[in-house]
Amino acid sequence: MCDATPLLTANNVHKAYGKSAEKVQVLSGLDLEVNAGEFVSIVGASGSGKTTLLHLLGTLDRPDQGTIQLDGQRIDNLPSERRDALRNGTFGFIFQFYHLLPELSTLDNVLMPQMIAHSVLGWLSRRKEVRRRGHELLEKVGLSHRLKHRPSELSGGEMQRAAIARALINRPRVLLADEPTGNLDSSTGQEIFGLLRDLNRHEGLTIIMVTHNLELAGDTDRMVRLVAGRVERATTEICDY
């Protein structure tokens, strides 16, 4: 075990979906600690609650019971404005189906979290700077030639790269990736994973990645297996950050 203060903690988290009669218990007493700079992969059978856990960690949903803490502060019970701000600034999300907004160009999609963060005036005053950062990020993920394209004109790999750039634009502390390679062929998946790996290694970004791909999961710092709504056991643990 590492002795550093965990960045993100889930304590005895319970979560169920559905009404009382057909209630499905997804998480039941889950505990998890993620340290700053760690690259954690979460694996488990379909329906084991991986995505739900990711949503709870990212304040998209609230646990029925238990707490989520960021830097030792509870974040699951914050008022919705504070949680909106956390999702905007502290967490970055990547989804299996990319979830880009189809009406906007690649660049506008990437800039969306910045637009959400600022009012019209704030946006206009720092537009140049933000656009430059958007360009830089798109260059970094290898999409500088696709700035004006709509998502429908991009390939799956390109869309996921754009989604990664979008997740990074507000310099988040934690990247939450929900099966980022799940919809891609293995070589493109490898490229995307390599991108995440580099971000973790070179920029110290904390990444929590849900995946079905055990090979990729094995390349992360730590693999967490969910069984029946709990963490089975940590298979690998590396403290070399």
Partner 1 sequence: MYKLLLCWRYLLTRYLALASIISVMLGVATLIVVNSVMAGFSTKLKERLHGLISDMVIESPNMEGIPEIQAKIERIRNDEFLGSKIEAMDPTLEVLALMQYRIQGETFTKYVKVVAVDPTQRSKIGGFAEHLLNPENRLHPSFNLTPEAQERYIYNHWEPPILQPSPPPHVPGEKPPPDPPPSVPFVPRGIILGNALASYRNPNATPVTPKEERDVYVLKPGDDIWIMTVSGQKLSPVVARFAVCDYFKSEMSEYDANYVFAPIDYVQQLRTMENRGTSIQIKLNDYRDAPEVKAKLKAMFPEPLYYVSTWEDKQGPLLGAIAVERGLLNVLLFLIICVAGFGILAIFAMIVSEKTRDIGILKALGASNGGVMKIFLGYGVLLGIVGAGLGTILGLVITWNINDIEIWLSKLTGHEVFPRDIYYFSTIPTDIQPMSVLLVNLGAVGIAVLASIFPAMRAAMLHPVRALRYE
Binding site for partner 1 (CB under 8 A): 52, 55, 58, 60-61, 80-81, 84-89, 93, 95, 99-104, 108, 112-113, 115-120, 122-124, 166
> Nearest 5 degrees, angle CA 152-CA 160-CA 32?
140
To partner 1, the closest distance from the beta carbon of 105 in angstroms equals: 10
The least distance separating partner 1 from the CB of residue 95, rounded to whole angstroms, comes to 7
Count of CB atoms situated within 10 Å of the CB of 104 = 15
Task: Report, in Å, the least distance between residue 107 CB and partner 1.
Answer: 12
Q: Where are the beta strands (DSSP E) in the chain?
A: 8-17, 24-34, 39-44, 65-70, 73-74, 91-94, 174-178, 206-210, 222-227, 230-234
Nearer to partner 1, 100 or 209 (CB): 100
Looking at the Cβ atoms of 1 and 120, the one nearer to partner 1 is 120
Supply the minimum distance, in Å, between the C-beta of residue 102 and partner 1. Answer: 8
Residue closer to partner 1, measured from CB, 99 or 197: 99
Per-residue H/E/C for 206-222: EEEEECCCHHHHHCCCE
CB-nearer residue toward partner 1: 33 or 158? 158
Beta pairing partners, 231: 226
Work out how close the CB of 226 gets to partner 1 at its nearest, in angstroms, rounded to a whole number.
17
What is the Cα Rg of the chain in Å?
18
Q: Closest distance between partner 1 and the C-beta of residue 120, in Å?
A: 5
Any bridge partners for residue 227, and if so which? 230
Nearer to partner 1, 51 or 200 (CB): 51
3-state secondary structure of 112: helix
DSSP H helices in 141-208: 156-168, 186-203
Among 241, 156, 236, which Cα is nearest to 201's? 241
Q: Which is nearer to partner 1, 4 or 101 (by Cβ)?
A: 101
